[in-house]
């Protein structure tokens, strides 16, 4: 019988830790997840509701099909050698090239390094050489490599929705259009871009076709912010924020550490200001938002409020700052807004203390407004930043030469008035799908005689177009970009277009020249490079950017107070039960819809809600109780004649009577392998007047339920003080506070009966020296030069999922689909846990005084909730419980300290997964890579294809074009095998081989300091992950391990993990309401 570990009972304290509301309430469902040895249904086939019956039917089908030659043997494949071998290409050895991709939204770029094998790009990471990047990347960037091999991407030209050819398009339309040289009644819709070559081509096309109208549209761009930039700084000027050296930050609904782009490397810059080990001053961060974001989770103080109330809050902050520093101009702008407000409904004490703190740190403070807020918010925030001195130290105005274009409303008006007879749609989104609903753009498009669409997928716009042209991935085309900070970066292709697509630049050139090609675009890029006065093209191509010269900077040319104009400003009422507020948020899985067919992003749990394969309307506990709603309940959201349906999900820290619904899900409109039937379309609620939030919406239950695949309770760990945190004052008083929280405070010395090898000293007490014979002929040797280890700094980790996706790309980790996630069978090697902390005294009611009833009736005080993410993978324990229970030695310890897996030895007992206290091991219940995810029928039974094994066609993700993405140095695992984090052992092995080759006859074969990084470390934009060699005194990992904040997870069970954590440090303002409870949840766990 399995011995059940009796973890110590957590003592009653003023605050408590929890991953889900189920854990907070200690529900039966949560206890089931906690105590379950294996994921749900591990012993069943789950073919239908009656599994045994399904099993018998399946066996009958297999017998019937036996005569068709179905077998389990691996297919024989013949290797085809190079006809003429490429000198520098070695099978299995990676080549690295610098490139860049346009940033989402079009402003700036992401400098990258692409990893290629035999001409196949398999992974992208940030370019650490780039001065504006620091090597950072996002989950979107990491997942973009999968889009290159998307089996559903556009594969050819379409005419009226039917396949045609490039020659037909040339003969039927393009040649005649080019000869006409007229832009009369012709329009072009594009995305914004800081590419100098593309913008030069746009100007040439406009000159070649007199009368051509140019329009720009991105669904999530934020027209109000763009208009404010133009009014404040002039056409083409972009404010770029640097948080280096910042002391105080106030975010007004700005997710600058997540989905809002305000600078080139804000995540890393902000992390540096929170470093306590360096001895400098720790910054303080205030956040005002409606729902938890990656940024809000890092805040020292957080104020939850509806987005319609951001302008009033900004005005109250501005008024308090103006009084503190004596700025009359700022005060006059604030007074214009305050005159229209009911001030007492806001948390005046919170706002006042925040404003005083900003003012007292004048020159080191900044206020950031969300990109999708209106013009008035951004101008008021600009006035605040000018008064605080942020423009002198932290905001640079970069003069990007952007062409002037109209907006989507202007284009719609032109089409309605009959001014457009030919329209080129080149923007990166899907304008028929994501345009504001009041424009009815899909209907308008039908009135345009000729519509030419260039796109990466056959989306709703492609289906409505006269002609559709397949587009290219950024890794298939030449280009260039200026980063937000003004550094010239080169976009270098890694592979020829897989399906004959053409890039936006080639298409623009085809309007000017008959034989447009990527070779001619390369010449154009070189011409741009030379015209910019830059030097050494070869060096720029190798590094990915041009050194030295940058774009010029501008100055604030308009006084914010003089252009504020509050006449049209209306302050919406606070949302209430009869008038809710709907917020259309950015999805971490789909962005605006362009990533909807990306399985990696769909299956990566949302950083806040832990929801996969869906979107849901997030509501607070108060809203749920008031309206009588529960998780997964399908509701109708309506205003006027517009209505949508979506399930609801209770989300801690949410503003009351506010619904947050991510956009970008097609629902029943989608027909992609991954996107089909996923999520609910929220765009019908977006209008030109309300592109971000909609006030006064109604909600009613449909009486139906929608099953949500949530992972918040999956792989829950028992134990005290898992994600540890403290405050600056605690750190000053006792720097080692993290090492004696929880059970670490009074655990006895770890004395083991088994004396294993000492990996650090390179000795084994039971054998002579470093060598001993475990099995005759198989000697185990401790590596005296390499002992690998890792630290994860919770002080800078935002939980952004970049490491989760990077690990998936590097290690060939499959996606399993929604049903398998519901059964707890997701395969991610990195599990991004997210903990909330809240007052455990249920009588605590919000300091704001806006609770939902009498004290003692509120289980969660949403005003007092904090959030902390924590990435967990295999911790490579020196005394690993999994190794001792494997009956076939499939998991063993290596001489350099790794807990290794031998896949072809594993027989799938899953004893190791059962014995892992960190729940870091994953089992392949089905052949997820080879068999299809979508449902098929075999023998009258309908189920996901992988459930039928060899009876299903071998057309899964690993058999389509997606197989080209696989890393050849990592085994693609099959059904019945356990897998887990390996510390990227393939990279370790390659580094050791390279060190030996470089050493030649020397004994210096130790891997050089800093020459080896792992996939998750490369992806982290905050430098939270440090990996290195404990035997190298110069290695940074030793510095991190020596930090007083360093602690081992579940140390009291004696596993001696190689991966350790650095505790989070908060810097609360002692004068703020509730400051005494901030960052203290684990400090009282003893």
- Buried (b) or exposed (e) across 991-1003, using 16+ Cβ within 10 A? bbeebeeeeeeee
Indicate if the pLDDT at residue 1078 is higher than 90.
no
CB 885 within 8 A of CB 910: no
* pLDDT tier, 694 (very low <50, low <70, confident <90, very high otherwise): very high
Query: How many angstroms separate the first and last alpha carbons of the chain?
Result: 31
Q: Give the CB-side neighbour count of residue 41, counting CA atoms within 13 A.
A: 19
| Angle, vertex CA 633, rays to CA 627 and CA 636, nearest 5 | 75
Indicate if the pLDDT at residue 1000 is higher than 90.
no
In this predicted structure, which of 66-70, 431-435, 484-488, 606-610 has the lowest mean pLDDT? 66-70
Summarize the confidence of residues 649-670 as an average pLDDT.
Answer: 92
Q: What was the pLDDT predicted at 572?
A: 85
d(CA 1069, CA 1077): 11
Neighbouring CB atoms inside 10 A of 226's CB total 19
375-388 helix and 328-338 helix, angle to the nearest 10 degrees: 150
Burial of 31 (0-12, 13-18, 19+ CB in 10 A): middle
Indicate if the pLDDT at residue 926 is higher than 90.
no
Q: What was the pLDDT predicted at 21?
A: 62
Q: What was the pLDDT predicted at 47?
A: 41
Q: What was the pLDDT predicted at 927?
A: 86
Q: What was the pLDDT predicted at 40?
A: 54
Burial of 697 (0-12, 13-18, 19+ CB in 10 A): buried
- Among candidate residues 840, 358, 293, 311, the one with its CA nearest the CA of residue 302: 293
In this predicted structure, which of 400-414, 471-485, 733-747 has the lowest mean pLDDT? 733-747
pLDDT tens for each residue of 928-954: 888 777 777 676 777 777 777 777 777
pLDDT tens for each residue of 700-729: 999 999 999 999 888 888 767 788 998 999
Tell me the three state secondary structure of residue 740: helix
pLDDT tens for each residue of 726-741: 899 999 998 988 888 8
pLDDT tens for each residue of 140-195: 999 999 999 998 899 999 999 899 999 999 999 999 999 888 889 999 999 999 99
d(CA 317, CA 384): 9
Indicate if the pLDDT at residue 44 is higher than 70.
no
List the beta bridge partners of residue 645.
636
Burial of 938 (0-12, 13-18, 19+ CB in 10 A): buried
Indicate if the pLDDT at residue 336 is higher than 70.
yes
Q: How far is CA 853 from the centre of its chain?
A: 37
d(CA 221, CA 211): 26
Which CATH number does 580-710 carry? 2.40.40.20
Neighbouring CB atoms inside 10 A of 571's CB total 16
CB 488 within 8 A of CB 482: yes
Q: Which CATH architecture has domain 158-217+407-550?
A: 3-Layer(aba) Sandwich (3.40)
Tell me the three state secondary structure of residue 371: coil
In this predicted structure, which of 63-77, 227-241, 593-607, 852-866 has the lowest mean pLDDT? 63-77
SS3 of 163-203: ECCHHHHHHHHHHHHHHHCCCCCEEEEECCCCCHHHHHHHH
Let me know if the fold of 158-217+407-550 is the same as that of 223-396. Answer: no
361 vs 81, more confident? 361
Q: What was the pLDDT predicted at 959?
A: 67
Provide Rg for the chain, Cα atoms: 29
Q: Give the CB-side neighbour count of residue 752, counting CA atoms within 13 A.
A: 15
Q: What was the pLDDT predicted at 943?
A: 75
| Angle, vertex CA 834, rays to CA 832 and CA 837, nearest 5 | 160
Report DSSP state, residue 947. G
Indicate if the pLDDT at residue 768 is higher than 90.
no
84 vs 1053, more confident? 1053
Indicate if the pLDDT at residue 1085 is higher than 90.
no
* pLDDT tier, 1059 (very low <50, low <70, confident <90, very high otherwise): very high
Retrieve residue 19's tokens.
């991953």
**Cα–Cα distance list, 69 to 62, 73, 625 (Å):** 11, 11, 59
552 vs 856, more confident? 552
pLDDT tens for each residue of 550-571: 899 988 778 888 888 767 678 8
d(CA 233, CA 226): 11
d(CA 716, CA 803): 20
d(CA 936, CA 941): 8
pLDDT tens for each residue of 183-229: 899 999 999 999 999 999 999 999 999 999 999 999 998 888 889 99
d(CA 873, CA 898): 13
Neighbouring CB atoms inside 10 A of 513's CB total 10
Retrieve residue 14's tokens.
């003023």
Per-domain boundaries in the chain: 158-217+407-550, 223-396, 580-710
Mean pLDDT over each residue of the chain, to the nearest integer? 85
* pLDDT tier, 20 (very low <50, low <70, confident <90, very high otherwise): low
Indicate if the pLDDT at residue 45 is higher than 50.
no
Report DSSP state, residue 852. S
Helix-then-strand count for the chain, H and E: 32, 44
For residue 446, the surrounding DSSP H or E stretch is: helix 441-446
In this predicted structure, which of 11-15, 177-181, 483-487, 490-494 has the lowest mean pLDDT? 11-15
Indicate if the pLDDT at residue 988 is higher than 90.
yes
98 vs 18, more confident? 98
**Cα–Cα distance list, 304 to 356, 384, 864, 1066 (Å):** 20, 21, 10, 19
518-531 helix and 196-208 helix, angle to the nearest 10 degrees: 110
Pinpoint the alpha helices (H) of 86-242: 139-148, 166-169, 175-180, 196-208, 223-233
pLDDT tens for each residue of 199-212: 999 999 999 999 99
Retrieve residue 404's tokens.
């002037």
Retrieve residue 1041's tokens.
């391990």
Give the global pTM.
0.90
In this predicted structure, which of 340-354, 615-629, 775-789 has the lowest mean pLDDT? 775-789
* pLDDT tier, 50 (very low <50, low <70, confident <90, very high otherwise): very low
**Domain range 223-396, its CATH number among 3.40.50.720, 3.90.1170.50, 3.40.228.10, 3.40.50.300:** 3.40.228.10
- Among candidate residues 712, 713, 721, the one with its CA nearest the CA of residue 1049: 721
Pinpoint the alpha helices (H) of 555-631: 560-563, 599-603, 621-627
Tell me the three state secondary structure of residue 987: helix
Indicate if the pLDDT at residue 1022 is higher than 50.
yes
Summarize the confidence of residues 105-134 as an average pLDDT.
Answer: 90
Summarize the confidence of residues 36-62 as an average pLDDT.
Answer: 49
% of the chain with per-residue pLDDT over 70: 86
Q: What was the pLDDT predicted at 698?
A: 93
CB 510 within 8 A of CB 177: no
């Amino acid at each position: 019988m399995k011995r059940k570990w009796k973890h110590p009972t957590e003592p009653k304290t003023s605050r408590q830790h929890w991953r889900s509301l189920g854990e907070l309430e200690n529900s039966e469902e949560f206890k089931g997840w906690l105590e379950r040895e294996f994921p749900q249904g591990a012993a069943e086939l789950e073919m239908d509701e009656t599994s045994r019956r399904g099993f018998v039917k399946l066996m009958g089908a297999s017998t019937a099909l036996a005569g068709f030659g179905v077998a389990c043997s691996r297919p024989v494949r013949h290797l085809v050698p190079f006809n003429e071998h490429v000198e520098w290409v070695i099978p299995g050895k990676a080549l690295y090239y610098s490139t860049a991709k346009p940033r989402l939204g079009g402003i700036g770029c992401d400098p990258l390094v692409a990893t290629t094998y035999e001409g196949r790009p398999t992974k992208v990471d940030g370019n650490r050489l780039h001065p504006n990047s620091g090597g950072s990347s996002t989950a979107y960037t990491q997942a973009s490599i999968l889009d290159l091999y998307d089996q559903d991407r556009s594969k050819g030209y379409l005419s009226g929705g039917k396949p045609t050819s490039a020659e037909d398009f040339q003969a039927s339309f393009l040649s005649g259009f080019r000869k006409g040289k007229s832009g009369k009644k012709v329009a072009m819709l594009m995305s914004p871009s800081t590419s100098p070559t593309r913008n030069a081509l746009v100007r040439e096309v406009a000159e070649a076709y007199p009368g051509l109208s140019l329009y720009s549209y991105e669904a999530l761009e934020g027209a109000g912010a763009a208009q404010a930039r133009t009014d404040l700084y002039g056409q083409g000027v972009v404010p770029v924020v640097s948080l280096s050296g910042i002391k105080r930050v106030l975010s007004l609904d700005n997710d600058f550490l997540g989905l809002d782009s305000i600078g080139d490397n804000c995540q890393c810059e902000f992390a540096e200001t929170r470093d306590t080990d360096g001895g400098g001053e720790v910054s303080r961060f205030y956040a005002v938002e409606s729902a938890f974001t990656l940024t809000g989770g890092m805040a020292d103080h957080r104020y939850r409020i509806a987005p319609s109330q951001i302008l009033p809050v900004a005005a109250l902050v501005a008024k308090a700052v103006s009084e503190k520093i004596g700025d009359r101009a700022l005060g006059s702008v604030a007074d214009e807004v305050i005159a229209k407000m009911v001030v007492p409904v806001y948390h005046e004490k919170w706002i006042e203390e925040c404003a005083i703190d900003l003012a007292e740190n004048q020159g080191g403070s900044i206020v950031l407004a969300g990109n999708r807020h209106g013009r008035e918010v951004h101008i008021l925030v600009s006035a605040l930043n000018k008064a605080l001195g942020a423009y002198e130290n932290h905001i640079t105005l970069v003069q990007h030469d952007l062409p002037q274009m109209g907006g989507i409303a202007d284009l719609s008006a032109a089409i309605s008035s009959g001014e457009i007879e030919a329209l080129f749609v080149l923007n990166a989104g899907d304008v028929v799908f994501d345009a504001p609903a009041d424009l009815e753009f899909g209907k308008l498009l039908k009135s345009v005689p000729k519509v030419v669409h260039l796109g990466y997928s056959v989306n709703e716009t492609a289906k409505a177009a006269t002609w559709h042209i397949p587009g290219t991935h950024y890794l298939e085309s030449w280009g260039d970009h200026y980063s937000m900070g003004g550094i010239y970066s080169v976009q270098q292709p890694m592979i020829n277009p897989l399906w004959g697509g053409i890039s936006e630049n080639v298409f623009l050139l085809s309007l000017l020249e008959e034989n447009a090609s990527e070779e001619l675009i390369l010449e154009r890029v070189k011409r741009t490079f030379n015209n910019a006065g830059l030097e050494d093209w070869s060096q720029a191509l190798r590094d990915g950017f041009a050194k030295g010269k940058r774009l010029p900077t501008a100055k604030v040319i308009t006084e914010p107070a003089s252009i504020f104009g509050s006449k049209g400003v209306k302050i919406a009422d606070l949302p209430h039960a009869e008038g809710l507020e709907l917020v259309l948020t950015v999805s971490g899985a789909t962005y605006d819809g362009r990533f909807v067919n990306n399985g990696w992003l769909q299956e990566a749990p949302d950083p806040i809600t832990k929801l996969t394969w869906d979107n849901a309307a997030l509501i607070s506990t108060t809203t749920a109780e008031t309206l009588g709603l529960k998780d997964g309940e399908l509701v109708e959201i309506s205003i006027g004649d517009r209505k949508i349906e979506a399930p609801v999900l209770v989300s801690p820290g949410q503003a009351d009577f506010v619904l947050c619904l991510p956009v970008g899900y097609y629902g029943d409109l989608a027909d992609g392998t991954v996107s089909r039937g996923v999520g609910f379309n929220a765009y019908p609620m977006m209008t030109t007047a309300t592109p971000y939030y909609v006030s006064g919406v109604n909600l009613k239950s449909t009486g139906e339920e929608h099953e949500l695949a949530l992972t918040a309770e999956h792989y829950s760990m028992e134990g005290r003080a898992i994600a540890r945190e403290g405050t600056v004052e605690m750190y000053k008083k006792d720097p080692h506070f993290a090492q004696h929280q929880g059970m670490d405070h009074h655990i006895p010395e770890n004395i083991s009966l088994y004396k294993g090898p000492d990996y650090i000293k390179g000795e084994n007490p039971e054998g002579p020296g470093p060598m001993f014979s475990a099995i005759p002929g198989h000697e185990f040797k401790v590596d005296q030069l390499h002992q690998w280890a890792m630290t994860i700094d919770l002080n800078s980790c935002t939980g952004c999922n970049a490491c989760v996706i990077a690990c998936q790309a590097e290690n060939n980790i499959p996606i399993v689909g929604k049903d398998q996630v519901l059964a707890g069978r997701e395969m991610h090697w990195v599990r991004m846990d997210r903990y909330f902390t809240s007052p455990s005294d249920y009588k605590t009611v919000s300091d704001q005084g806006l609770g939902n009833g009498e004290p003692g009736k509120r289980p969660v005080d949403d005003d007092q909730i904090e959030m902390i993410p924590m990435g967990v993978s295999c911790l490579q324990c020196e005394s690993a419980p999994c190794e001792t229970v494997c009956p076939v030695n499939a998991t063993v310890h290596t001489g350099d300290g790794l807990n290794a897996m031998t896949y072809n030895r594993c027989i799938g007992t899953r004893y190791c997964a059962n014995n892992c206290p960190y729940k870091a091991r994953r089992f392949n219940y089905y052949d997820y890579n080879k068999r299809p995810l979508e449902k098929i029928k075999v023998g009258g039974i309908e189920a996901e294809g992988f459930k039928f094994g060899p009876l299903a066609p071998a057309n899964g993700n690993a058999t389509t074009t997606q197989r080209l993405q696989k890393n050849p140095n990592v085994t693609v695992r099959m059904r019945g095998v356990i897998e887990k984090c390996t510390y990227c052992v393939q990279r370790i092995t390659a580094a050791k081989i390279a060190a030996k080759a470089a050493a030649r006859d020397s004994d210096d074969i130790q891997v050089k300091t800093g020459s080896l990084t792992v996939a998750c470390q490369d992806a982290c934009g905050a430098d939270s992950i440090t990996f290195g060699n404990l035997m190298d005194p110069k290695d940074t990992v030793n510095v991190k391990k020596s930090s007083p904040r360093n602690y081992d997870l579940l140390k009291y069970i004696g596993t001696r993990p190689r991966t350790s954590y650095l505790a989070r440090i908060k810097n609360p303002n002692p004068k703020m309401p509730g400051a005494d409870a901030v960052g203290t949840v684990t400090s009282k766990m003893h």
